[in-house]
Structure 1
C-alpha cells in the first residue's frame, strides 16, 4: 500500500488528474521489464488527457497483452497511439474491439481509401459488386473506415499531417465510404434493376474537401437512364439506390453508424424528389432556385458513382453559380440568411464555435459572399475550400493581407478545436464544453502545458473576436452590393460597348475616361487588381456627381500620388463610405480635388461625419503653434502651418459638399482657420524680426480682422481684410519700425508660392487706405477716427474684431472703436444720406463691365451688398440702444433687429434667404471651378454644374436660375423699403 500511495502522488505530480486511480491502472501494466512500464508512463503524461489514455491503454492491454511488448520497442508507434488515446475515447474503444488495427499506426502511408473500402465490403474495385452479406458488409465498412480514421487522427495529432491534408483526406474517405455504400445498394437491388447512371455530388465541406471528423455528409443525386432505357423506371431505380446508399451509411450496427447522409440541399429540399436528371436540376436552378442554393452549389463536387455524369453536372451548374450575384438583392439575401442562422443558435451563445458569433460560419459566409460577387469576373477566385479561396481573395486584392491572415488563423484554430471536440466521442458537436477537465484536454491537445484552460480560453476568445470583427467588416461591406448590381458589361470595364456606356452614364469625354481607366487597372500588380474591383463601382458613383469626367481625372491624380501607399487602396476597398464620399467630392469640386492631391493624407477624413466636423479653434491654434516651434526659419514654419490649413480647408469643403454644415458654419470654420493661420504667421514673423534685431520686440502687435473675416463670413476665395495696430513699450519711432517689419513679414510669408490656396493679406481698409501707414499705434487710430473718420469708415468698423496677436491690445482697440461704430444717439440724417449715396454710387460704378446686374451675387439687386448694407445701417442707427446689434455678423444682426422690433420677421426672412443663397452660389463656384466667381454662371454647362452642386436635379438648371431671380427680387424690394425708405 505505501508503494501504491507513493506512486499515486508521483503520478499526480506528473499530470494525472486522479493519481490513485492512475497508480492502480499502471500496476496492471507491470511486466518483468519494470523500466519499460515507467517509460510508458512518462510518455503518457505528455498527451492531452493522460488519465483517458491510461484507461484506454490498460483496456487494450487486457484484450491484447502483446501490445505492450510492441509499444516498448517502437517509440514512433507509441507516440502515435498515445496521442490518439489521449484525445479520443471513441477511437480507444474501437481499438479495444479491434486491437489488430494498432498495427496500422506503424504504417507511414496507407493506400487508396476507395479500393480498401470496396474490398472491405466484398467488392472488386474494378467492378464493385459486394460478395459478402449485407449485414457483414455494413460492419466491415465501418471497421475499415474507422481504421483509416485512426491512422489519420494519429498523424493529425502528432503534427505529421497539416490541417488541409487532414480535411482533404477526411473528404476523400467519406467519398470512398459513399462509393462502398453505393456498391452495397447495387448488390441489394440485384440484377433485375433498371440500368441507370447515378452520380453522387458532394456538397458543403465534403464537396470542398474540408470535411470534419464527424459531420453529416451533404449530397445531391443526379441520374440519367442508359441509352434507350425508360427515364421514369431509371429514376425509380436510382431513387432506390440512393435511399439504400444513405441507409448503408447511417444504419445502426454492432459497430455503430458512419454518419448521416443529408440530401436536403437538393432542389425543393426535402419536399422535392431525391433524384433528378441533369436537365431537371438545371431547369429548377434557372427558374426557381433561391440565393442560398447557389451559395451551396459553390462547393459542389462529384464524389461517388458515375464520374462522367458528376463532372457534367458540376460544369453545368458552375455557370449558374458564378452569375448568381447579379440576381436582385443577392447580397442582402445572403446577409439575411446569416442573421437567421445567428438567431437560431442564439440559445447556445458564444460557445457555439460553428454558428455562433465569431464562429466558423462567420468566416465561411464572408469568404463565400466575396467569392460569389467578385468571382463572376475573376476565375482565380473560384475555389471550393475556404482557406484557398481566402488566399485567392487576398492575392487578388479583394481582402487585405492582414485581414486574410487574421481570418485564416482564426479559421484554422477553430477547425482544430472542432476536430478535437468531435474526436473525443466521435460525435457531431460544435459547442465548447464548460467542464474544466474537457477544456484542459483541448488546451493540452493544442500544445499548452502550463495553464491549458486559461490559455486555451484566451486564444479562443481572441480568435472569435477577430473573426467577428472581420466578418462584420467584410460581410456587410456596402461595396459588395454595388459590385453585385453592376451589369457584367460595365463591370468588366473593357467591352466594345464601354465608350457608349460611359457616354450614357454622363461622361463628356469617354475616350479620355477609358485612358484613365486603362492607366489605373492595367498590369498584374496588387494595386491594379484592387483598382479593377473599385473602378466599376466608382465609375457609377462618379456618374451621379455634377462632373463625372473631373471626378475620374481627380481619382487618377490622387491614386497616382497614393497608389503605392499601402493604406490607400485598402481603405477605399474596405471602407466603402470613404470611396463613395471620395467619388462625390472629386466629381463635384476641383477645389477640393486640388487640395486632396497636395494633401493626400487627408483621404481618411472621408470615412465618417465625425471626422469632418470642424475642429475647435483652440485645437487648431495649439497644432499651428507647435508646428511653428518645430522650425528654425519663418518660411518653413509658415509652410507647415499652410499645410495644416490645406487639410482643414479640405475638411470644411467636404463637410460643405456633404451637406453636414450650412453656409454660416462654413463661414465660421474658414474664418477661425484664417485667424489661426494669421496668428501662426505673426508668431513666425515676430520671431524672425526679433532675431534680426537681436533684441526683444519693443512693442505689442495685434491684427484686427475686417470685412468678411471680421464678420466670420469668409468664403473659400476670401482674402484676409485686416488692420495692424501696435502699442509701443519704448521709443515710438523704433517700435513703429519693428511693427512695420512684422506686418510686412506676415504679408510676405502668407503670399509665398505654395501648392495650396494663398491667404492674401489686404490692409486697404485702414485709415487713409493705401495712402496711409500700414501700422499705427492705438493712439494714432483713436486720433484719426476722432478727427477724420467718414461714415463709410464707421460702417467698415462694424466688422472689426480682434483676430491675432496681443489679445489685450485687441480688446483696447475694440473698446476704442465702439464709440465710433456705435455712436451715442445713432448717426444723424446727414450720415444716413451719405451712406445711401455711397450705396447707389457703388451699384453704379463697381459692377464689373459686361456683368449682368441681375446675376451678380455681390453687387446685383438683392445680392450680398444689399443685405449687408441694410444690416449695417440698422446697426449704425440703433446699436447704441440695442446691445444685441453689436455683432460683426450679418445674419446675427438681422436676427437681433427682429428681436428688437426694428425689422419685420418676414423682411428678415427674405433678406436672410437671399444672403444665404448668394453666399452658397459664390462658394459653389469656387468649389466647382477652383477659382472665384461672383455671378451666377451664364454658360449653360457651368450653371448646370452649380445647380447640381447646390442640390438641384440634373435637369434643374433653369429651376436654379428662376429661384435666384425670385429670391433676389424679393430681397431687393425689402432693401429699397428698409434702406432707402422707399
Structure 2
C-alpha cells in the first residue's frame, strides 16, 4: 500500500496537472501495469494537457487492460512513452471522446491506427478512406472500420494537425467512402438488381457541401436509370431495393451500434415521394412543383457514390434552375420564412442552448451565405460553392460582403462549429445543444484551448461569437448596398451598380434604381446624421423587405428623415430605443394611411418609442382627448383655427391608433403578433369612436363660443348612431348622428330652432373645410324622415314622430343610439325616450320580423356594387358585417326587453349576451363573432393600405399582399387569405340563414 507521504505527493501532482478527481486517479495509477506512467513526469504532463485528464487516464487504463497479454500491454505503454506524436494523438482522443475510448476498449488493437504519421496521413481523401474500409463485408465490420477511420480524424482534430474546415471535409470524405462501401455490400447481396439499373447517390446538406459534423444525418437523393435496355419500371424497382438496402446498412443498429442515419427526405415530395426517380422525373418535378427551399438545398448537391456519370448529369441538368431560383416571386421572403420556421419549432427551454438553430447560431450563417450565393451566383460563377466558408470567402472577394464582416463571420462560424464538434465527439451523439453540466463545459473549453477558467471563458466566447452572428446576419445583405452608395472605404471591394440592383430586386424592391438614390441620399457624407443612418439602415432595410412594399417603406423613411433629420431627439430615439426603429419601419411600409398622417405631423414619431413605460401607442381615453381638444379650442382665435387645432389632435391620435394596430398585427422581434384579433378590432373601434366624439365636442364648443359666447339659446346634444354609437368606427367611417335640442327657459321656440340649425350647419361647414387630413363626415340620414326631414329636432318633436310615424327600421337603427357630445342630461332623456322603441315590450310581432327580413333582402339586392364579387364584400356580402349585425339586432329587438345584457350598442357584446342567455348556441356565436371580426379587420386593412375606405379586397397585387401581411399571411399566400375569408363568411352565412331567415 502506498505510504501516506507518497500518496500526498502524487495527489498534489495530479491536482497540479488538472485532474478534478485526483484520489480516483491515484488509485488507478497504483496498478502495477501503469508503473511506467506513474513514474514518468512527461507522461503525467501529457495527461494533464488533455481536455479531461480524468477521462484520459480512465480510457488509457481500460485500453491497457484490454490488451490480450502483458507483452501487448508493454508494447502499447512503451510506444506511448517513446513516441510523442502517438502519445499526443491517443491521449487527445481519450480525453475528448468517451465513445472512442469505448471503441478502443472493445477493439484494443485499433490504437495502432494512430501510430502512423506520414504526410499522406495528415490530410487523407476519399481514396485513403476507401482503403481503410476495404475489408468490410457486412454492416458490423463496416461500422468497426468506420470507427477506426474516425479515430484518425479525431486525433488530427484534437491535436490541431487539421483545422475546422479540413476536419469537416475529412468527415465528408469518410461518409462518401462509407456510402460507397455500403452500396457495394448491397450490390453483392443482390447482383440481379445491380445489373438491372444505374443508381447514382447524390450527397446533400453538409455531406454534399464537404463540411460534415462528427455525428449527423447524411442527406442524399437517389437517381436511377435503366441498364442494358431493361424495362424502366423494373429498373426503378431494382434501384429502390439497392438504395433501401444501402440506407439500412448505414442506419440500422448492430452489436457495434449504427454508423449514422441516411436521410432521403430532401427528395422531390419528401417522404411521400418515390425513393428513386429517373433524371427526367426529377427535372419535371423541379420545373413544375419545387419550392424555393428545394433549390436552396440543391446548392450543396454532389454525386458521391454509384454511377458518378449519372450523378454528374443530374447536377449539371439542375444547376441552371438553382441559379435562377432568385428570380422566383417572394424568393427572399421564402428563404427567411424557412429560417423563422426553424427557430419557431425550437422548444423554448432549449433556445438559449441551441448552437445550430437558435438566433446567432450556425444556421444563421449558412442561410445568409446561401441567400447571397443564390442572388449573385447567377452572374458570378465564383460563388457557386457548396462549402459555407469557401462561399463566404468568395462573397468577400467579390465585394458582395464587406471584408471585415466576412472575417468576423468566418471566425465566429469556425468557433461555433468547433464547439459543436467537441460536443458531439464526446459521446458521438447527434446534438447541437450546449450542455449545462460544468464538467462537460470544462472539457469542451479545455479542448478548445481555454485553460485559465475554461467554463467562464467558454461561455464568454460562445456568447460573443453568437452576438457577432446575430449582429451580422441581417447586416450582410444590406451593408454592402450602403458601402456601394456611400463610398467611404476606397480600398474595399464593393458591389457593382448591377449587383446592387440585383440584390435589391431579390429583396423585393420593385424600383431598385430609386432605392439606390434614396440610400445614397440617406447614407452619404460625413455628418452625424449620415453616420447614424448608416448604422440604422441595414436593420431598417431588412424590416422594409419583410413588408409587402419595401419601396414605399424606404421612400417614406427618407421623407421622415428629411423632415426630422436635424432634430436632435429623432435619431437618438431610433438609435437608442429598441422598439422605435422597428415600429417605424413597420408603420412606414404597411400602406398609405399611417405614413400620410405621419408626414403631416412628423413629430409623432416620438409615439413609437419605449418612453412612458412603453405606453406611447396606448390609446388615450375620451375624457383625456376631449380635455386636450377643448383646451386648444379655447385658445384658438375663431372657429376655423379652433377646428384646425381639433384636427391636429385627431391627426396625431389617428396615427397613434393606426401605428399600434400595425405594430400589433405584424408583431416585432421583441413582441410577437397579438393572437386576439377581436381585441385589436375593439381597440381600433373604441379609439376612433372616442376620438370622433372628442372632435365633435370640440367643434361644437368652437361654434357655440364664436356665435353665442358661453350660452346657447337652446340645450343641444349629439347622439351617435350606427358604428359610431356602437364604438365600432373604422379609420374611414362616416359619423352617423342625430341632433336633438330643447329651448332654454324663456327662449322662443323659433329662436331656439334657428340657433340649433345654425350650430349644425356651422359644425358641418367647419368640418368640411378643405384639408389634407382624413375627412370627418357627419351623416344625419338616420334622422326621422331621412334626408327629407329637418336636421335637428326638439326632444318633444322626436317623441311625437316616434309615437305616430316610427317604422321598424328606425327601431332597429336606434339600437345603436348613444350620447357622444353636448348636453348630457338632454341626451340621457333622449335615450329614455327611445328605449321602448328599440327594446319593445314582448318583442317583435311576426309582421315586423318579416319586414326586417324584406328590408335586408332588398338591401342585398340593391346595394352591392356592380362587378364586385359578393363573396368577398366585407360589408354586404354573404357572411359579412351586415349579415352578422342584422342577425344580432333582430335578437336584440326580440329579446332586449327581457334580457338586460342585450341592451348594448356594441355588436360583439350583444352577441356574447345572446349566447349567455341561451338564444344562440356557443359554436354558432363563435362563428358569427369570427366572421364579424375578420370583416372588420379587412375594412381596416384596406383603409390602412390604400389610404381610402373600401369594403372589398384590393385588385392591385401589391396592395392585396399588404392586406395579407396585416392579416398575418406570409408573402405569396394571398390565395390562402381569400380562401380563408370565403370559408369564414360561408360558415357565418349558414348561421344567418338559420337564425335570421328562419332556416
**From 442, 446, 455, the counterpart of 1:444:** 446
Distance 1:574 1:391, change over 3 A: farther
- Does 2:101 correspond to 1:92? yes
1:882-893 maps to which residues of 2 (within 5 A)? none
- Give CA deviations for 1:621-656 in whole Å, capped at 9, x if unaligned: xxxxxxxxxxxxxxxxxxxxxxxxxxxxxx9xx999
| Equivalent position of 1:658 in the other structure | 595
Separation in 2 of the partners of 1:443 and 1:197?
48
Q: CA deviation at 1:119?
A: 4.2
Contact 2:17 2:48 survives alignment (8 Å) = yes
| Equivalent position of 1:977 in the other structure | none
Separation in 1 of the partners of 2:592 and 2:270?
51
- Does 2:24 correspond to 1:21? yes
Q: CA deviation at 1:49?
A: 0.6
| Equivalent position of 1:359 in the other structure | 361
SS in 1 for 2:234: helix
Q: CA deviation at 1:414?
A: 2.3
Separation in 2 of the partners of 1:585 and 1:93?
60
| Equivalent position of 2:428 in the other structure | 426
Contact 2:355 2:361 survives alignment (8 Å) = yes
| Equivalent position of 1:104 in the other structure | 114
SS in 2 for 1:658: helix
- Does 2:766 correspond to 1:911? yes
Q: Which runs of 5 or more structure 2 residues have no equivalent in the other structure?
A: 68-72, 487-491, 606-633, 643-700, 713-754, 776-944, 955-999
| Equivalent position of 1:772 in the other structure | none
Give me the CA root mean square deviation. 5.4
Separation in 1 of the partners of 2:319 and 2:25?
57
| Equivalent position of 2:991 in the other structure | none
- Does 2:13 correspond to 1:10? yes
- Give CA deviations for 1:419-456 in whole Å, capped at 9, x if unaligned: 11221122222223232211211121122223222222
Separation in 1 of the partners of 2:558 and 2:454?
60
Contact 1:203 1:220 survives alignment (8 Å) = yes
SS in 2 for 1:310: helix
Distance 1:319 1:875, change over 3 A: same
Separation in 1 of the partners of 2:466 and 2:559?
45
Contact 1:563 1:569 survives alignment (8 Å) = no
Contact 1:572 1:578 survives alignment (8 Å) = no
Distance 1:181 1:593, change over 3 A: closer
SS in 2 for 1:198: strand
Contact 1:36 1:72 survives alignment (8 Å) = no
Contact 2:193 2:242 survives alignment (8 Å) = no
**From 41, 44, 53, the counterpart of 2:47:** 44
**From 96, 111, 115, the counterpart of 2:127:** 115
Moved more, 409-418 or 14-23: 409-418
Q: CA deviation at 1:42?
A: 1.6
SS in 2 for 1:107: coil
SS in 2 for 1:58: helix
Contact 1:170 1:212 survives alignment (8 Å) = yes
| Equivalent position of 1:924 in the other structure | none
Distance 1:395 1:603, change over 3 A: farther
| Equivalent position of 1:263 in the other structure | 264
| Equivalent position of 1:284 in the other structure | 285
Q: CA deviation at 1:213?
A: 0.9
Q: CA deviation at 1:110?
A: 3.8
Separation in 1 of the partners of 2:374 and 2:220?
21
**From 55, 60, 67, the counterpart of 1:57:** 60
| Equivalent position of 2:80 in the other structure | 71
SS in 2 for 1:237: helix
Contact 1:366 1:474 survives alignment (8 Å) = yes
Distance 1:668 1:106, change over 3 A: closer
Separation in 2 of the partners of 1:355 and 1:26?
43
| Equivalent position of 1:755 in the other structure | none
Q: CA deviation at 1:575?
A: 2.1
Q: Which runs of 5 or more structure 1 residues have no equivalent in the other structure?
A: 123-131, 481-515, 518-522, 615-650, 670-710, 714-793, 800-870, 883-899, 921-947, 955-982
Separation in 2 of the partners of 1:277 and 1:527?
41
**From 371, 396, 414, the counterpart of 2:416:** 414
SS in 2 for 1:258: coil
| Equivalent position of 2:500 in the other structure | 531
1:76-225 maps to which residues of 2 (within 5 A)? 76-96=85-105, 97-110=107-120, 113-119=125-131, 122=134, 134-135=137-138, 138-190=139-191, 193-225=194-226
Q: CA deviation at 1:208?
A: 0.7
Separation in 1 of the partners of 2:581 and 2:128?
65
Q: CA deviation at 1:35?
A: 7.8
- Give CA deviations for 1:599-639 in whole Å, capped at 9, x if unaligned: 9999999999957999xxxxxxxxxxxxxxxxxxxxxxxxx
Separation in 2 of the partners of 1:656 and 1:192?
67
| Equivalent position of 1:485 in the other structure | none
Separation in 1 of the partners of 2:583 and 2:234?
73
SS in 2 for 1:134: coil
- Give CA deviations for 1:340-363 in whole Å, capped at 9, x if unaligned: 433443165122323344433333
- Does 2:540 correspond to 1:575? yes
Contact 1:366 1:471 survives alignment (8 Å) = yes
Separation in 1 of the partners of 2:202 and 2:710?
91
SS in 1 for 2:458: helix
Provide the aligned length of Structure 1 versus Structure 2: 632
Separation in 1 of the partners of 2:301 and 2:761?
72
| Equivalent position of 1:301 in the other structure | 302
Distance 1:380 1:144, change over 3 A: same
Contact 1:558 1:597 survives alignment (8 Å) = no
Distance 1:281 1:33, change over 3 A: closer
Contact 2:400 2:494 survives alignment (8 Å) = no
TM-score (norm. length: structure 1): 0.54
1:580-595 maps to which residues of 2 (within 5 A)? none
**From 453, 456, 463, the counterpart of 1:454:** 456
Q: CA deviation at 1:281?
A: 1.1
Q: CA deviation at 1:51?
A: 0.6
Contact 2:400 2:495 survives alignment (8 Å) = no
Separation in 1 of the partners of 2:258 and 2:219?
16
Separation in 1 of the partners of 2:480 and 2:495?
18
| Equivalent position of 1:241 in the other structure | 242
Q: CA deviation at 1:74?
A: 2.0
SS in 2 for 1:256: coil
Q: CA deviation at 1:300?
A: 0.9
1:859-878 maps to which residues of 2 (within 5 A)? none
Moved more, 452-461 or 106-115: 106-115
Q: CA deviation at 1:106?
A: 3.9
Q: CA deviation at 1:301?
A: 0.8
Contact 1:422 1:429 survives alignment (8 Å) = yes
Separation in 1 of the partners of 2:553 and 2:263?
53
SS in 1 for 2:435: coil
Distance 1:388 1:562, change over 3 A: farther
Distance 1:60 1:307, change over 3 A: same
Separation in 2 of the partners of 1:99 and 1:950?
79
SS in 2 for 1:914: coil
- Give CA deviations for 1:353-374 in whole Å, capped at 9, x if unaligned: 2334443333333433443345
1:744-763 maps to which residues of 2 (within 5 A)? none
Moved more, 578-587 or 284-293: 578-587
1:796-811 maps to which residues of 2 (within 5 A)? none
Distance 1:29 1:916, change over 3 A: farther
SS in 1 for 2:248: helix
Q: CA deviation at 1:278?
A: 0.7
